[in-house]
């Protein structure tokens, strides 16, 4: 099977942490025998200019690689153009979160861009031969007229060979974190408004006025070093306004590290039955109270087996099955 992947999220030398989950998925698909060529739009490096002449670029890639189908990994303008440009090939669109739910725009230009991106996602959803979404809330956010027979809920996989339990003190020493303090990891970019870093800071301030609990933001950390940060933490904190299927939660569970999260995406489903993890209200007081329960408990989880069905190879094989269905019907 030959697939042309079109994505605007992929690691680059200047943005090594961007789209690591896409890179993992591409490599896992190759590992199970899919021949993949890519059209990568370096959105983080080059801005909106990457969408100029995109239709021609996609048609040229189709002519050169002769794929069985296109797999567009993110919605918005890119997916709208791809579903229009691929006239004779089925297109599978993977919606990830903000492309269906929108974002917290901070200015007039960004607000207009977000609105247009949502409009483009809706058009792409109608045209696509197949759709995957990360979680039920994204499924529910699809346009009403979309044929749900062509939609699959499929979370991203986790590299279980990379994300596994490690000794907490050893990891803290590697990072230079003070062993006598407690450490909470905010595993998103603080600059993204929908992640609500200020809410995380407020929760830590409410929990600890004596400076004994430190909040660490995962910024500029190479992907292969992220497990060290997770394992060094006493808890992973998620304060997002909206999510699809946050990888940080699944990666923490793979490392048996407790999670405190707002009720977003599929987090409630992931944490169901896991002793030592908590869903909190969107208030600093409740987030602090749930973090206090985790810190007082002071134990690792027994959660790794719960996400065994989200290993990269398992998810890759599910994607291949979706490819085959799309090719039969698209």
Q: Domain count of the chain?
A: 2
Q: What is the CATH number of the domain that holds 292?
A: 3.40.50.2000
Burial class (CB in 10 A: 0-12, 13-18, 19+), 167: exposed
pTM for the full predicted model? 0.89
Assigned domain for 219 exists = yes
Tokens for 195? 């992640």
Beta-strand pair 259-262/182-186: unpaired
- The three-point CA angle 235-204-221 to 5° equals 55
Tokens for 285? 């007081």
Same domain? For 44 and 126 the reply is yes
Assigned domain for 163 exists = no
pLDDT tens digits, residue range 238-287? Answer: 999 988 899 999 999 999 999 999 999 999 999 999 999 999 999 999 99
In this prediction, residue 72 carries a pLDDT of: 97
What pLDDT tens digit does each residue of the chain (330 aa) get?
999 999 998 988 887 778 899 999 999 999 999 999 999 998 777 777 888 899 999 999 999 999 999 999 999 999 999 999 998 999 999 999 888 888 665 666 666 777 888 899 999 999 999 999 999 999 999 999 999 999 999 999 999 999 999 999 999 999 999 999 999 999 888 988 889 999 999 999 999 767 799 999 998 888 999 999 999 999 999 999 988 899 999 999 999 999 999 999 999 999 999 999 999 999 999 999 999 999 999 999 999 999 999 999 999 999 999 999 999 986
3-state secondary structure 33-54: CCEEEEEECCHHHHHHHHHCCH
Same domain? For 179 and 149 the reply is no
Closest CA to 86 of 53, 132, 50, 55: 55
- The three-point CA angle 157-43-266 to 5° equals 30
Element (H, E) at 183: strand 182-186
In this prediction, residue 107 carries a pLDDT of: 66
In this prediction, residue 199 carries a pLDDT of: 96
Assigned domain for 190 exists = yes
Same domain? For 186 and 143 the reply is no
Q: 17: domain range?
A: 2-157+311-329
Evaluate whether 39 touches 6 at the Cβ level (below 8 Å). Answer: yes
Same domain? For 70 and 183 the reply is no
């Amino acid at each position: 099977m030959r697939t042309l992947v079109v994505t605007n999220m992929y690691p680059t030398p200047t943005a090594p942490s961007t789209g690591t989950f896409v890179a993992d998925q591409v490599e896992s698909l190759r590992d199970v025998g899919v021949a993949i060529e890519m059209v990568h739009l370096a959105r983080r490096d080059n801005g909106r200019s990457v969408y100029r002449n995109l239709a021609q670029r996609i048609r040229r890639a189709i002519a050169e690689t002769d794929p069985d189908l296109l797999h567009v990994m993110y919605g918005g303008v890119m997916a709208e153009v791809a579903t229009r440009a691929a006239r004779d090939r089925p297109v599978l669109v993977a919606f990830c979160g903000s492309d269906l739910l929108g974002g917290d725009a901070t200015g007039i230009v960004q607000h207009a861009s977000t609105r247009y991106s949502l409009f483009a996602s809706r058009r792409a959803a109608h045209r696509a031969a197949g759709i995957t979404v990360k979680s039920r809330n994204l499924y529910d956010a699809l346009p009403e007229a979309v044929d749900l027979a062509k939609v699959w809920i499929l979370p991203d996989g986790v590299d279980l060979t990379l994300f596994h339990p490690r000794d907490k003190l050893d990891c803290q020493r590697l990072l230079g974190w003070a062993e006598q303090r407690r450490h909470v990891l905010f595993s998103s970019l603080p600059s993204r408004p929908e992640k609500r870093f200020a809410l995380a800071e407020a929760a830590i301030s409410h929990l600890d006025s004596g400076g004994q609990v430190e909040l660490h933001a995962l910024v500029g950390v190479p992907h292969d070093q992220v497990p060290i940060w997770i394992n060094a933490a006493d808890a992973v904190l998620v304060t997002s306004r909206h999510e699809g299927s946050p990888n940080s939660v699944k990666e923490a569970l793979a490392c048996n590290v407790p999670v405190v999260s707002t009720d977003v995406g599929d987090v409630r489903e992931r944490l169901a039955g896991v002793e030592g993890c908590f869903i909190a209200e969107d208030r600093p007081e409740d987030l602090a109270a749930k973090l206090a329960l985790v810190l007082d408990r002071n134990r690792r989880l027994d959660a790794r087996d719960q996400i065994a069905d989200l290993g990269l190879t398992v998810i890759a094989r599910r994607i291949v099955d979706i490819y085959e269905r799309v090719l039969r019907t698209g």
